[in-house]
Amino acid sequence: MSARAALPPRAHDPALHELLVKTIKGLTMDAVQKANSGHPGMPMGTADMASTLWSGFLVHDPAQPRWPDRDRFVLSAGHGSMLLYSLLHLHGYDLPMEQLQQFRQLGSRTPGHPEVDHTPGVEVTTGPLGSGFAAGVGLALGERLLAARYNRPGHEIVDHLTYGIVSDGDLMEGIASEAASLAGHLGLGKLVYLYDANRITIDGSTDVSFTEDVAARFTAYGWHVAEVDGHDPEAIAAALEVARAELSAPSLIVCRTTIGQGAPTKAGKSSSHGSPLGAAEVEGAKRAMGWPLEPTFYVPDELRAGLEARRGALTELRQDWDRRFAAYEAEHPELAAQLRAAWADELPEVAMAALDALRFEAGTAVATRKVGAKVLAALVEPLPSLVGGSADLAGSNGVDIPALGWQSREQPGGRGIHFGVREHGMAGVCNGLALHGGLRPFDATFLIFSDFMRGALRLSALMRLPVVHVLSHDSIFLGEDGPTHQPIEQCMSLRLVPHLHVVRPADANETVGAWIHALQRKRGDGPTAILVSRQDLPVLEHGRRDVSRGAYVLWEPAKVAVADLHAIVIATGSEVSLALEAAHRLHEVGLPLRVVSMPCWEAFEAQDQAYRDEVLPPSITRRISVEAGVTVGWGRWASHHVGIDDFGASAPAEVLAEHFGLTPEALIERIRALP
Amino acid sequence: MSARAALPPRAHDPALHELLVKTIKGLTMDAVQKANSGHPGMPMGTADMASTLWSGFLVHDPAQPRWPDRDRFVLSAGHGSMLLYSLLHLHGYDLPMEQLQQFRQLGSRTPGHPEVDHTPGVEVTTGPLGSGFAAGVGLALGERLLAARYNRPGHEIVDHLTYGIVSDGDLMEGIASEAASLAGHLGLGKLVYLYDANRITIDGSTDVSFTEDVAARFTAYGWHVAEVDGHDPEAIAAALEVARAELSAPSLIVCRTTIGQGAPTKAGKSSSHGSPLGAAEVEGAKRAMGWPLEPTFYVPDELRAGLEARRGALTELRQDWDRRFAAYEAEHPELAAQLRAAWADELPEVAMAALDALRFEAGTAVATRKVGAKVLAALVEPLPSLVGGSADLAGSNGVDIPALGWQSREQPGGRGIHFGVREHGMAGVCNGLALHGGLRPFDATFLIFSDFMRGALRLSALMRLPVVHVLSHDSIFLGEDGPTHQPIEQCMSLRLVPHLHVVRPADANETVGAWIHALQRKRGDGPTAILVSRQDLPVLEHGRRDVSRGAYVLWEPAKVAVADLHAIVIATGSEVSLALEAAHRLHEVGLPLRVVSMPCWEAFEAQDQAYRDEVLPPSITRRISVEAGVTVGWGRWASHHVGIDDFGASAPAEVLAEHFGLTPEALIERIRALP
């Protein structure tokens, strides 16, 4: 029993449908032509599909684009952005005609590919193929999870669908395969994708590279699959009816379409895909569909009127939800308050208190990945929005938290997710969970396999989503698994991603701090990668819990003036205790060093100059960085570097420490030899 | 009609099979126990499958592990390395017992995961799941391609199979999905994978994350699929017979197995996967299979004798091939010479001459991606080993070379490959093509999507394969497609990968040089990424073709002493002409600058100190780097940096240049303000 029984009025009006389709085509051709750049083929080929969906199925309120219970629409084939911009404009989102006319111009709300939190009504930043597909799976999973946790009898306050349009290109990408397999496994019944099967890619016909039986593949994943003529609105609508009623499996509606439909010579050809059609082709297309050549960006009044008439019904649905949520709030005030806090990405005080209680005493030793497990266990109750899991390394990554409940068909409210060996899909799904709202997702794998999820991880940074990426086994010190598993360049490489905070904590207390830092970041800030060790690390005597300033003076000999320091040693993660030991020993022989722990470059960079100069006084230019990874990049902070600029090796950790010169003895030698 | 009609004698001897299986299990348990680290479950569960394959099907010669026409065996589930090491040892490869006893120790030939060119008989470095699967597709494609090109009637000198063992984890990975779809599309009939369907992953039963119908999925890809009891050697052999006879489709033989088979309490459980079984469990397993507890690493004499007896037949097959190749060489000396040169990764003189003829005159302008197309076109004839393509961006990347012939079922000798929108699979397949020998593969996509192929790209570097990665649209100057498509951190991030050379040429001539540099690297050196522009770049007056020294002085005012230089401007790619214009203008107003073009950091780092000091005199510390990407890392060469440390934006290129301060005016201002 779904509130979705209430739907906006269907476009029984074929004339209105036709007008909408033609207008989308016209706007698309004109915008691409004016920008002299863009992708006309996809919007023209999918105008029928999209119009059918938006006219009769999609529940949304253009006046309140962030209404929590709206249906989500994902344009996975993001290059078809003019389709989405046309729909948003025509349906009354805050995207006026001037914006369409500024398609692909600096500062406009109509960039080349759709960008969430930039254009009202855009749910996901798409463009890299397959990524939107995975994000949609996350959106649908988020809905199911919140519905299971928050709905109460008579109060279905979370109850919406996730729709999307996906392309041949999307379905060739591995990330989509991974997410599709997971969605089928979980049985995400409220996920409905229209597949724009135009059989054209940039290189030409899909015959040249993509001849698999997509329908059979998705059936094998456990999806409900239908196939229709993608230019027959009644057939599409009928398939959508069936799909949205199928609650035990996600749906793929294969829509056979013609790319660039309506273009006189380029329809059905890859030449309509990624370039302006050209004035003659546009003219031909407009003439053929009985459209005025002038003005460009033409929108018939009767279309505006027709769509306006329907908007009332959508507003009523949203208002009805407002009333229903008020009733829910009256009856379940605590749940409602929880949800509101979660929607706002708030870190509840009880959660902070739970983390505050996690303290580790110097003199003990613990692997920082295991600290992560303690952090998560402490958050299960006080942070109800917490959700996530690992790509089949839950125990190893320190994210095996049975108390979260394992997400499954039988336990749709489970907040622990077995993602399977699907790193890229995992990160893409987590983006969707974060985009949904009301959830604080984390994913986890070995640091080395951040390489596998880099596409989606970058999108989490570009969308500024507060996803937490837990990356364990953060150096060669994982030992015997060898060079295929030993990160060398990964830590530095993640630091290069804008808006991603990379935290490599030195010990247990810094690890708790890393989580606090990560959870205090909100939507609009960005994701955090927490790099944790496989091996035990000593709990540092003066180690801090607060990593929010990025770096701090961990130790230096008492009563030594800054001017008398021989050098500063800057280290991260497991190398901090190494640096400390070297510094202690050198202190014994009269060589005073300052040891700086620098768990988070990005946070340190955000400090004012005074603090940065306090930690790294400009007068001390003899500085040595110590990190078990590439040294390129460390020139930002240090003049000399200890690191590893080649691949690792398979051996026990202590043997590797000797081999790669990461022992106190070797470090002491380097420091003594500093020019 | 396949030479594979000649096969080694099948293990009709069930007793010998049983001995081999038990010995593999014993060696595995003992090695993992001794190393106190490793993965016993997989080798124990797949010993039946592997023994059947190796005893009756695999054509190889342990005395000549690089015999070009050997069958390839890929252990995609590389964590089961003791399976492979046991097989190699027992079959007589140069992997003595002392090496097995040094499993996972520094410098041994038995590292945690198999490493090609480190251990004789290991064909692919595996471990990151899915990667071996994709490499195997490349190996099979390489065989087909070379067979089509070089075999002549009566001379089937290229005719072998590619076998592999793949796991649940492999088949969950997106890269495997991509490669599987491509292999099915191409109909690679000589690819035969045994799928170790043990239904166990690290997180537990596959029920928690992986319930799709794998057989149906592979059928949908166009594979031949069979299903057998993975502990029934006769059933496995029968399925292998059918699979190797099926020449129009790749084969997946689903083998239902028990992980850790033989372990008394851990068999069938994830606890047997990734840790030593423990002394008691090992003892129980040995007792149950009637195996001596001592000595450890026990190999029965009758097994050695039995396998030795079979080796003669294998040697004969290889000797027969030697004779057949000699006959081929006599009849087709030119083809044979071509093949020999290709096996040696030689760059023929005619190829160098063809590249030498490609010269571009200053005063013109050309997009460096288009230069790549000219380079490839020039190499079609003189470099017959050249093979490659794009992930559906052939035209955009400058690799649309019809003269290569498009690879397909109908044209199995085609050297141009439509990889489809499958970046990760593409890079994995190219690794396999390079591993096969006799081929010089290149792949291509937008630089931004190097993120999608990073896992396989790293493996090309770890394996030191001379794959050429063509990465176009190398900066924000691709323009309107916006931040999802604009690389920012990618160039620097690739520089961090050991043994990967990253070349970002400044103009057309440097682009030719980049290709020469890439093609002069051989197996054992490593891959090259060539980063090329979407936009036209002026051909530089003093631009060099030789980039092999990594950096050079492009321009400085005549008759200015080094000591009088105001600063050095170091730039790469499209920013070199920008730097040059700024320098010219500043020269006019009396500020002398040296402009250094630095297309390849890694090559420059390999120069002697004298050359490096000549280009970048240590006395000139005022140096400014100019590159349209992140500035982190440039501290290695410069004191000040012009770059982009945030995501890009959607707008025409010239607008972006203004917006991001990458104009001559902005650069002049920065240089004037240098402290």
pLDDT tens column, A361-375: 999 999 999 999 999
The pTM for the full model equals 0.98
Residue type, A485: H
Per the listing, tokens 């009767």 go with: A302
Q: Which of B186, B210, B396, B452 to mutate to test the interface with A (most CBs of A within 10 A)?
A: B452
**What number of residues does chain B have?**
675
User: Contact A332/A152 with Cβ under 8 angstroms?
Assistant: yes
What is the mean pLDDT of the segment spanning A191-218?
94
> Is the confidence at residue A10, as pLDDT, over 80?
no
> Is the confidence at residue B9, as pLDDT, over 90?
no
CA distance B586 to chain A (A): 28
Measured CA distances, B543 to B357, B520, B577, B668 (Å): 16, 20, 10, 21
- pLDDT of amino acid B4: 56
- How many beta-carbon contacts under 8 Å exist across A and B? 346
> Is the confidence at residue A436, as pLDDT, over 50?
yes
Can you tell me the distance from the alpha carbon of B596 to that of B554, in angstroms, rounded to the nearest whole number?
Answer: 5
- Compute φ and ψ for A53, nearest 5 degrees: -65, -50
Helices (H), B412-545: 423-436, 454-462, 490-495, 508-520
- pLDDT of amino acid B2: 47
Q: Quickly list DSSP for A288-321.
A: HTT--SSSSS---HHHHHHHHHHHHHHHHHHHHH
What is the mean pLDDT of the segment spanning B603-621?
98
Spatial CB neighbours of A589, under 8 Å, sequence gap ≥ 6: none
What is the mean pLDDT of the segment spanning B266-283?
96
> Is the confidence at residue B3, as pLDDT, over 50?
no
CA B273 to chain centre: 27
Shortest CA distance to A519 belongs to which of A378, A314, A643, A655?
A378
Q: Per the structure block, which two tokens stand in for A248?
A: 């035990």
Active-site residue numbers of A? 423
- The residue in chain B having the minimum alpha-carbon distance to the alpha carbon of residue A214 is B220
> Is the confidence at residue A109, as pLDDT, over 50?
yes
- pLDDT of amino acid A9: 59
Quick one: residue B268, left, alpha or beta (phi over 0 = left, psi -120 to 50 = alpha)? left
CA distance A8 to chain B (A): 33
Class of domain B3-317: alpha beta
CA distance A431 to chain B (A): 15
Can you tell me the distance from the alpha carbon of B83 to that of B110, in angstroms, rounded to the nearest whole number?
Answer: 11
> Is the confidence at residue B1, as pLDDT, over 60?
no
Can you tell me the distance from the alpha carbon of A124 to that of A159, in angstroms, rounded to the nearest whole number?
Answer: 19
Exposed/middle/buried for residue A584 (C-beta within 10 Å: 0-12, 13-18, 19+): middle
- pLDDT of amino acid B5: 53
User: Contact A78/A132 with Cβ under 8 angstroms?
Assistant: yes
Return the percentage of chain A with pLDDT > 90, whole number: 97
User: Contact A249/A187 with Cβ under 8 angstroms?
Assistant: yes
- pLDDT of amino acid A201: 86
Q: Helices then strands (H, E): number in chain A?
A: 24, 20
Class of domain A349-538: alpha beta
CA A601 to chain centre: 21
- pLDDT of amino acid B475: 98
Quick one: residue A524, left, alpha or beta (phi over 0 = left, psi -120 to 50 = alpha)? left
Q: pLDDT digits over B453-480, tens only?
A: 999 999 999 999 999 999 999 999 999 9
Class of domain A550-672: alpha beta
CA A603 to chain centre: 21
> Is the confidence at residue B209, as pLDDT, over 50?
yes
Helix (H, G, I), strand (E, B) or coil at B675: coil
Can you tell me the distance from the alpha carbon of B479 to that of A106, in angstroms, rounded to the nearest whole number?
Answer: 10
The helix (run of H) or strand (run of E) holding residue B396 is: helix B394-397
> What is the rounded average pLDDT for all residues in chain B?
96
- Asked if the Cβ–Cβ distance from A217 to B217 is below 8 Å, we say yes
Q: Which of A172, A207, A248 to mutate to test the interface with B (most CBs of B within 10 A)?
A: A172
Question: Is the pLDDT higher at B10 or at A35?
Answer: A35
Spatial CB neighbours of A125, under 8 Å, sequence gap ≥ 6: A78, A113, A114, A115, A116, A459, A462, A463, B484
What is the mean pLDDT of the segment spanning A438-458?
98
ipTM above 0.95, yes or no: yes
Fold matches, A3-317 and A550-672:
yes
> Is the confidence at residue B507, as pLDDT, over 70?
yes
CB-CB neighbours of A26 under 10 Å: 26
Q: pLDDT digits over A603-651, tens only?
A: 999 999 999 999 999 999 999 999 999 999 999 999 999 999 999 999 9
Among A7-16, B247-256, B300-309, name the one with the lowest average pLDDT.
A7-16
Question: What count of Cα atoms within 13 Å lies in the side-chain half-sphere of residue B517?
Answer: 31
What is the mean pLDDT of the segment spanning A220-248?
97
- Asked if the Cβ–Cβ distance from B484 to A125 is below 8 Å, we say yes
Can you tell me the distance from the alpha carbon of A512 to that of A532, in angstroms, rounded to the nearest whole number?
Answer: 11
Which residue out of B115, B143, B173, B423 is catalytically annotated?
B423
Question: What count of Cα atoms within 13 Å lies in the side-chain half-sphere of residue A343?
Answer: 13
* Residues of chain B contacting residue A182, judged by C-beta atoms under 8 Å apart: 209
Band of the pLDDT at A11, cuts 50, 70, 90? Answer: low
Q: pLDDT digits over B399-457, tens only?
A: 999 999 999 999 999 999 999 999 999 999 999 999 999 999 999 999 999 999 999 99
Return the percentage of chain A with pLDDT > 70, whole number: 98
* Residues of chain B contacting residue A482, judged by C-beta atoms under 8 Å apart: 104, 111-113, 115, 127
User: Contact B299/B27 with Cβ under 8 angstroms?
Assistant: yes
- The residue in chain B having the minimum alpha-carbon distance to the alpha carbon of residue A488 is B497
What is the mean pLDDT of the segment spanning B88-110?
98
Q: pLDDT digits over A134-170, tens only?
A: 999 999 999 999 999 999 999 999 999 999 999 999 9
- pLDDT of amino acid B202: 86
CB-CB neighbours of A359 under 10 Å: 11
Band of the pLDDT at A337, cuts 50, 70, 90? Answer: very high
- pLDDT of amino acid B7: 67
| Integer Rg of chain B from CA | 27
State the angle between helix axes of B174-186 and B423-436 in degrees (0 to 180), rounded to the nearest 10: 70
Rounded to 5°, the CA angle A449-A453-A458 comes to 130
Return the percentage of chain B with pLDDT > 90, whole number: 96
User: Contact A254/A225 with Cβ under 8 angstroms?
Assistant: yes
- pLDDT of amino acid A202: 86
Domain spans of chain B, in order of start: 3-317, 349-538, 550-672
